[in-house]
Amino acid sequence: MPELYIDGAWRAALAGGQRDIRCPADGSLTVTVDEAGPDDTLDAILAARRAFDESSWPSGSVHDRCALLHRVADLLASHKSDVARAESLDTGKRLVESEYDVDDVVAVFRFYAGAAAGTAGRVVDTGRPDVRSRVVHEPIGVCALITPWNYPLLQTSWKVAPCLAAGNTFVLKPSELTPSTAILLMRYLIEAGLPAGVGNLVLGAGPQAGALLTTHPGVDLVSFTGGLGTGRQLMAAVAPTVKKVALELGGKNPNIVFADADLEVALDFALTAIFLHSGQVCSAGARLLIEGSVKDKFVDELVVRAERIRLGGPFDDKAETGPLISAEHRAKVEAYVEAGRGEGAQVRCGGSRPDDPALSVGFYYLPTILDGCTSSMSVVQNESFGPVLTVETFVDEDDAVRIANDTIFGLAGAVWTSNAGRAERVASRLRMGTVWINDYHPYVPQAEWGGYKQSGVGRELGVAGLDEYRETKHIWHNVRPEVQRWFGDG
């Protein structure tokens, strides 16, 4: 079956392009999909444009749109095992993690179904009895939704759900490495009753399938999740048409542990913070900042436990984490670790591929801890997006905040302490979009997600995530207009 969905129909790529999708855990062929070229993407943009400009979708009932989102959530929940399996085959992540992701996706669709129904605008008191003034929200138009490979369906839901809830149309381009769950979602949207042209799916690499989404004047908004370099290029590309952009560009996130924290709990979470999904998480706690008085004991035990982490494929019940997404990405992580060695960082564990023959066909890399790091090092400043933890030491609260903020990123961070006052002080001083206190990684659809500084522009999730897909209009209605004679009788 063709995998591009454009203007209400599944079709093959016009130029006949295809790509084999292989599981990163063992290289096995998962699926072969069609790959769009510029002509396919143009057709998708024009279809979305027509659906927005000429159909009743944007001006239709909010209740109907919300009901559609609930139906999609129901379909995802009922097909959870199929969706999770497809996600794990594409990404190599453990099946249990993909199952958690599907639950989160269902929650996102349900949240936006409720959020859209409860945001009808507001009345403004002008102080004039002859004026009715109100602020309303309207859909922004055609949205280009460009999603990453690490959490393919989850990141797609963060965009598709609010986009549709607000009444927009869209062209979705998932990562060329992990298209399978985007295809499944499109099928569920169609089954739920999405009108032709409202949602369109193009597959393929950015230069071929995605470039036109950033430059075409028929696109009103571009929402992108991915790397900083690509995000910078995207901002430049949209500038001539002054599109609205929403960017989530990753981070280099500090996990700050004070000596008075529950160190056993903090140690357990420090492992999860960085080694979950082999560190391929934008909010991963890749920087451990540890108070000097407890540093040696804490890091020694962290190394022991990191060395015990069991690698394996998505359906290996004993595996605790999986492979990296591709050979190219593993090579980048390897180069990153070598740069750290060259800067004087001490490799306490990992720093290489596993020697287990059973893992040789996958893109595995051992959990790695680099000790003796400072914020001047490239391994501390740059995002590895892999299972690599850097260790820095601080002396007091001010020093911890200074080191934590010494980065161009500002996505997330955590503070571990038993002192509630210190926890709140540090959290308020961290220049980051999410700060956890005595925890790491959880999020809920109701709370906004996004970064400060070069971690991005705008927010996803929460009501602000819905606002990214809406224009705000002020309507002033003078119910008793009278001649003013400002310029006399003439």
Q: Which two tokens stand for residue 369?
A: 């801890």
Q: What distance in Å separates the CA atoms of residue 426 and residue 380, rounded to the nearest whole number?
A: 20
Please count the CA atoms within 13 angstroms of the CA of 279 that sit on its side-chain side.
28
- Decide: helix, strand or coil at residue 264: helix
Nearest to 353 by CA among 370, 335, 334, 369: 334
From 23, 143, 163, 282, active-site residue: 282
Q: What distance in Å separates the CA atoms of residue 298 and residue 17, rounded to the nearest whole number?
A: 52
From 35, 97, 248, 397, active-site residue: 248
* DSSP 8-state code for residue 5: E
Q: Provide the 10 A C-beta neighbour count for residue 135.
A: 12
Q: Is 248 a catalytic residue?
A: yes
Q: What distance in Å separates the CA atoms of residue 478 and residue 130, rounded to the nearest whole number?
A: 6
Q: Provide the 10 A C-beta neighbour count for residue 56.
A: 10
Contact of 153 with 124, CB cutoff 8 Å: no
* DSSP 8-state code for residue 173: E
What is the per-residue DSSP string for 185-231? HHHHHHHHTPPTTTEEE--S-IIIIIHHHHH-TT--EEEEES-HHHH
Nearest to 433 by CA among 283, 221, 230, 232: 283
How far is CA 463 from each of CA 98, 208, 474, rounded to the nearest angstrom?
A: 26, 33, 19
Q: Is 282 a catalytic residue?
A: yes
Q: Write the CB contacts of 357 (distance below 8 Å, at least 6 apart in sequence).
A: none
Q: What distance in Å separates the CA atoms of residue 297 and residue 268, rounded to the nearest whole number?
A: 14
Please count the CA atoms within 13 angstroms of the CA of 346 that sit on its side-chain side.
8
Q: What distance in Å separates the CA atoms of residue 38 and residue 353, rounded to the nearest whole number?
A: 38
What is the per-residue DSSP string for 336-357? HHHHHHHTT-EEEE--S----G
Contact of 149 with 180, CB cutoff 8 Å: no
Please count the CA atoms within 13 angstroms of the CA of 363 that sit on its side-chain side.
26
Q: What distance in Å separates the CA atoms of residue 158 and residue 446, rounded to the nearest whole number?
A: 11
Torsion of CA 253, 259, 261, 266, to 10 degrees: 50
Q: Phi and psi dihedrals of 291, rounded to 5? A: -65, 135
Q: What distance in Å separates the CA atoms of residue 72 and residue 84, rounded to the nearest whole number?
A: 16
What residues are labeled active site? Answer: 248, 282
